[in-house]
Chain A
């Protein structure tokens, strides 16, 4: 299963957009009709995350066209005070990170503050998602049931599904709330991991293509 793309919005909204400009304008001349401006207006009015399916239904378009238009919009908004973020199938408009402090003052909101235990647990979930609690505990070396449940309760972590492993353990990941509370446009904006660990993580996730998060001996077991 390719959990990374579909479940946690790690992938860019549309794989290859820097080049999407010309092809996008070509697409907009087709019968399918959903301009970037229309899409932006729709998301503006919705005031809640919309699924790509919903957008496609509203516009009478196929998913591919919606994805392409979302990609165009995402690129256009990079220079604006509003950004487009994605959580799997759903997308929403949020304020730009650089406007965060101003908006927070206006609405009377404060930055999220977590204990060191919660932070390291959340970091593991964010970087390694989808990940089981057992994998988290192997890295932390300590029972993390309470910490994980607290994160889920605060909606900073979400249950993505269950691993096809004995006991069908819950797979954890992050969603809109994590991105919003931590001021991240996408998971690509996560702070860089220690390079050595990042390298190993890459290897692991590559390997995981075949047996997803079931490397029950893989995570804590560093050879």
Chain B
């Protein structure tokens, strides 16, 4: 069975359906509801009102029902016929003889029967109204549903019935963000930079001048420029090649120790040629 909550289902059913009444003919979903509404509109008591007096009003209301309610017409007509029967009986003089009592026992009074149906119907109609009121008052009971709670938490627990967030608020938030952000740095100037091996070799020599041993990592501590690091390393290798220093490293990634050799510091400036 397909979804019954949509109007399309009504069409599926292939006959003028009861559903067509839900195209919404106000409250009068059924004949009893209509009759009861007529009684209440006149501020009459269901328990005492002579139903015969309502037959005309009911027929008038029935005649004014829109055409699409035709699917339910039989139900309305059934009540109409009962009302007419009641009215006709009310107009006829009652016979008081015994036979009529027998008759009364055989066939229940149609007015009493219809009245009882009205009372029963009214009880459930009113119960439905109370149920709705209760639902609106308590809104409901909630079971633990992680997805629901989590979604609400992520949404900042914002009540559904609040007004939508004004756009200006978003613009304001963006504005404050802009103010907080530091002014963008000027684009770096492109300056040719020259790091020469001679320059770095001089630094290594200078460092070795004082101390007898030099740890390359110490020398480069704090230097973040990879080119400087690389060129310093090359300078060190160059000094090794010139036998000015010896280098040893006990283990991979370990400290690189450089020591001057006896030929250290020979005042030859050829290194600069390599720059």
Binding site for B on A (CB under 8 A): 44, 47-49, 83, 85, 92-98, 100-101, 103-124, 126-127, 139-147, 149-150, 152-154, 176, 179-185, 190-191, 193-194, 196-198, 200, 220-223
Contact = CB atoms under 8 A, between A and B. Distances in A.
A94 B143 contact: yes
Contacts of A122: 128, 131
A32 B182 CA distance: 68
A106 B142 CA distance: 11
B94 interface: no
B90 interface: no
A110 B10 contact: no
A140 B116 CA distance: 12
Interface of B: 1, 3-5, 9-10, 17-19, 21-22, 24, 27, 29-33, 71-72, 75, 78-79, 108, 113, 116-117, 119-132, 134-146, 148-149, 151-152, 155, 157-161
Contacts of A147: 18, 22, 29
19 contacts: A47-B146, A94-B142, A97-B138, A103-B139, A110-B160, A113-B136, A114-B132, A117-B30, A120-B127, A139-B120, A141-B117, A143-B75, A144-B18, A145-B18, A149-B9, A182-B134, A194-B123, A196-B119, A223-B113
Contact of A117 (B22, B145, B151): B22
Given A110-B160, A141-B31, A141-B117, A194 B141 contact: no
B95 to A, nearest CB: 23
Main secondary structure of the interface of B (DSSP, over half): helix
A112 to B, nearest CB: 5
A198 B120 CA distance: 9
Contact of A223 (B108, B131, B134, B144): B108
A150 B4 CA distance: 5
B121 A83 contact: no
A223 to B, nearest CB: 6
B144 A117 contact: no
B248 to A, nearest CB: 64
Contact of A154 (B5, B71, B123, B135): B5
A197 B119 contact: yes
Q: Which of B18, B78, B123, B124 has the most CB of A within 10 A?
A: B124
Contacts of B149: 106-107
B140 A112 contact: yes
Given A117-B22, A146-B4, A180 B128 contact: no
Given A123-B128, A182-B134, A95 B142 contact: yes
Contacts of B75: 141-143
A58 B24 CA distance: 51
B120 A222 contact: yes
A116 B34 CA distance: 12
Nearest to B17: A146
B246 to A, nearest CB: 70
A111 to B, nearest CB: 5
Contacts of A123: 124-125, 127-128, 131
Nearest to A182: B135
A42 to B, nearest CB: 13
Contacts of B29: 115-117, 120, 140, 142, 147
Given A123-B131, A183-B134, A143 B33 contact: no
A111 B31 CA distance: 29
